[in-house]
Amino acid sequence: MRLCGIFFVNTPCIFLAPYQNPMYVAAASAILAMLLFAMFWSCTMDLHINGRTYTVHCDSSEMLVWILRDDLGLTGTKMGCGAGICGSCTIHINGVPVRSCVTPVGAALGQIITTIEGLAQLGEDGTEILHPVQQAFIDEQVPQCAWCISGQIMTAAALLRDNPSPTDDEIDNALASNYCRCGCYVRIRSAVRRAAEYMRAHV
């Protein structure tokens, strides 16, 4: 059933706030129609996640967060609200941060998915090299319970890729919809600033 795959190659997830790309908005209705079609389409699908291809068997209307966590055991992506509000479930699709709790798996077919497990790189000697945002979160000792942390890190990583020198207001706005109940906000702010420095130093 590769049919689904063909349908959704390069279809952006237009309704996946907060990072909407306006150029796609016009295509929204067409894609939604395709999605609706996919919702009744239970099939075998290939997903490209963190540089690997996984085959899953499920209804394509199933939300991506559950495929990642329950089907594939990629539990680094968390779930806090299931309604697109808290940001705990943030992943990247083609580098854009999206909320996997409101993204049907069908919408991710053929796309490049990155989760917190795939953010670090492997060095030549096989050691793990953390993403600068992960390193900054360690250096600022950000996490407490850390249920929100992969969502914070994924959102911050996307921000810094697009904007290597964000102002404090830009940091606040980019992460304004990522709740942290443990109240790590002050440290999140410093860690994102610090990560930006790390990334600039690397370029």
Instruction: List residues binding ligand FES (CB under 6 A).
Output: 79-82, 84-89, 99, 101, 143-149, 180-182, 184
Amino acid at 3: L
- Report the nearest approach of ligand FES to the CB of residue 79 (Å): 5
Stretch that binds other proteins, among 4-12, 33-41, 104-112, 184-192 (CB under 8 A): 184-192
60 binds other proteins (CB under 8 A): no
Handedness of CA 113, 119, 123, 125 (dihedral sign): negative
- Which C-beta is closer to other proteins: that of 11 or that of 155? 155
- If one asks whether residue 112 binds other proteins (CB under 8 A), the answer comes out as no
Among 103, 109, 179, 195, binds other proteins (CB under 8 A): 179
Q: Is 56 in the site for other proteins (CB under 8 A)?
A: no
187 scored as a contact of other proteins (CB under 8 A): yes
Distance between CA 18 and CA 177 in Å, rounded? Answer: 8
- Read off the amino acid at residue 25: V
Q: Is 114 in the site for other proteins (CB under 8 A)?
A: no
